[in-house]
Amino acid sequence: MAFDSVVSHKFRSFLTILGIVVGILTAVVVASILTGMRQSIVAMFEDYGTNNIYLFHLSTGFGPSNRDERNRKALTMDDASAILAQSTAVSDIATVAVNIGSWGTGFDDNMIYKDKNYRWALTDGVTPNYDTISNVKMKEGRWLTEMDEYERRNVLVVGVNAVEALFNGDAEEAVGKEIRMNGNTWHIVGVLEKRESGFFGENEEDRKIFMPFRTARKVAPTRDAVLHIAQAKTGFLNDAVQEIEGVLRARREVKTGEPNNFDVKTADDFMKQFDGMIAGVGAAAIAISCLGLLVGGIGVMNIMLVSVTERTKEIGIRKAIGATRAAIVFQFLSEAMALTLLGGVIGVASSIGISNLIILFIPSIPAKIEPWMIFLSLGVSVGIGLVFGVLPARKAAKLDPIECLRYE
């Protein structure tokens, strides 16, 4: 009977539940995008290694940069050696000369091959053990060797973007070729396999160009910023973090009670930062959704009050043949909940369609609808009907049957 009442006034019912539809649609779509983004980042850190600890002299992660840290001195290779020597929980440590082609270093990492060039490289100098610590996979060729590092050879391992720009995506053709960069000749010895994980469908490694660490020091001597990636022994991640902090605090002469003048982060730390960042986006989406649900709830209450007035004589007949107050309340509450449930179903269906369209037309934006989103949305929509249907239902239940029967 409740659904029949809703369906019998299709257009009026649709206008009434429009706020419910908008509220549910907003909440589910935003939640699906944020969930997809988070799962992408989790997959990315799992791909690179969950036991890795990232050490840098500046704060890293998803938050804004801190200008007060600009005077910090960079970490050194001696810091890495000290950590390996003094920490029992660290199994290995790789060092990265970060983005040596950035502004002000004097190194031009524009890659030129015949009549083609690639301008968007992120060029890093890395120690030979970087591939094992970061789970690097090769598509063609080889990784950098100890001899490349020792002799400071002009050799490169390139990402898929450079191969696409210079060799039309043919990784096999790229290996062994010579390119021009920074006025010198460089030999491509390997091509990276594209990682499946990424943020917004992209992985920074796709743009990477790797060279031996000592070569990077030779061609960009002013770029002193290094990132250390320590690999903790299985089950000793927290111990490794504490030992690393102890070693670096001692080497950098940080006094007791003072904060670290360096940054130590694990995958969990990065995820906590990301969760904090998207909490604001989620709160804004919830606020918009609640506004839509409030408008929808008021609309439902209003239309139910109109329905009570329209059906006054029907209520009188029901009471005259024995309907109790509870039965009348249940009848109108059922209608209100049926109305809002319909809004929830339309909102969920629309959000699923929009999420699929986002994935189809903008694959770089992940959108994943979890079952809990659907059930929660439907539960909230029914709850809106229950809350805002109480007043009309109580009004209907309190009507005098004699007055109702005389109502015209």
In a domain, 93, yes or no: no
**Residues 123 and 36 grouped into a single domain:** no
In a domain, 62, yes or no: no
**Residues 381 and 283 grouped into a single domain:** yes
- Per-residue confidence (pLDDT) for residue 62, from 0 to 100: 67
Q: Report the C-alpha gap between 327 and 331 in whole angstroms.
A: 6
Comparison of pLDDT for 77 and 224, the residue scoring more: 77
Whether the predicted model's global pTM rises above the 0.85 cut: no
Last residue of a domain, one of 207, 224, 241: 224
Could you read off the pLDDT of 296-354 as tens digits, one per residue?
889 889 888 888 887 788 878 888 888 888 888 888 888 889 888 988 999 999 999 98
In a domain, 64, yes or no: no
Could you read off the pLDDT of 181-204 as tens digits, one per residue?
998 999 999 999 988 766 655 678
**Residues 206 and 122 grouped into a single domain:** yes
**Residues 39 and 144 grouped into a single domain:** no
CA-to-CA dists, residue 230 to 58, 129, 218, 274, angstroms = 16, 11, 24, 22
CA-to-CA dists, residue 320 to 308, 330, 398, angstroms = 17, 17, 13
In a domain, 79, yes or no: no
Closest CA relative to residue 156, chosen from 169, 140, 168, 170: 140
In a domain, 262, yes or no: no
**Residues 131 and 202 grouped into a single domain:** yes
Could you read off the pLDDT of 232-245 as tens digits, one per residue?
999 999 999 999 99
In a domain, 324, yes or no: yes
∠ CA 394-399-405, rounded to 5°: 145
**Residues 107 and 207 grouped into a single domain:** yes
**Residues 205 and 323 grouped into a single domain:** no
**Residues 400 and 284 grouped into a single domain:** yes
Q: Is the pLDDT of residue 276 over 70?
A: yes
Last residue of a domain, one of 160, 189, 224: 224
In a domain, 391, yes or no: yes
**Residues 38 and 104 grouped into a single domain:** no
In a domain, 15, yes or no: yes
The count of domains in the chain is 2
Last residue of a domain, one of 161, 192, 224: 224
Boundaries of domain holding 208: 99-224
